[in-house]
Copies of this chain bind each other. A is one copy, B any other.
Amino acid sequence: MACAWEESTKIRDVLIRPGTENDCNTIMDLIRELASFQGYPYAPQITAEILRRDGFGDNQQASFQTLLAVDRTTDKIIGYAVFFPFYSTWRGKGMFLEDLYVKPAHRKLGIGKLLLAHVSKRTLDSGGCQLRLSVLKTNPAKMFYSSLGFDNLTVDDGWETGRLDTNALEHLLESSGLTRS
């Protein structure tokens, strides 16, 4: 019980707020930390500037939303979530959670769960009925998601996800007689 009390005290020192364009350098650092944690340190090919343009630019619809966990005592950003609307022709509106990350020194305090609760609120408030996410099968976070009721569509139903890269898309256009605008 002392432990539970301690956790809730520490959570009270954490502020969850939307990211702004001024946070993009820090968010980009955290994106790289998360990629390294997953074993892909060189995977992020975007920059803070691209993040700023795509998520916070004035002249277009933002491509994603961000929520940050901030340590009130130091004003440091210690975790983040990136998510965007998703649509299912079986169930309708939902949200896709692209990233969820808490820095190692601040784990096991419930900060990830709190961030995810705020993402869940955004999902439900926007009329969504599900939050989708992808996780590496080797990522310890799988246990965290499972404990919250995550249905694994890959393992349970056999859904596999992949991509057609720029080269494949361009080849497809060319072989179909289409040109880019």
Contacts and interface: CB of A to CB of B under 8 A. Distances in A.
Given A133-B161, A134-B161, A163-B153, A85 B88 contact: no
Contacts of A173: 117, 120-121, 124
Interface string A24-63: 0000000100110000100111100011001000000101
A137 interface: yes
Interface in A143-177: 145, 148-173, 175-176
B123 A169 contact: yes
Contact of A137 (B51, B82, B116, B158): B158
- Copies of this chain per assembly: 2
A71 interface: no
Contacts of A117: 172-173, 175-176, 178
Interface size of A as a range: 35 or more
A158 B161 CA distance: 10
Interface of A is mostly: mixed
A162 B98 CA distance: 12
Contacts of A125: 180-181
Contact of A180 (B87, B121, B151, B162): B121
B54 A163 contact: no
Interface of A: 31, 34-35, 40, 43-46, 50-51, 54, 61, 63-64, 82, 84-94, 96, 98-99, 113-114, 116-118, 120-121, 123-125, 129-138, 142, 145, 148-173, 175-176, 178, 180-181
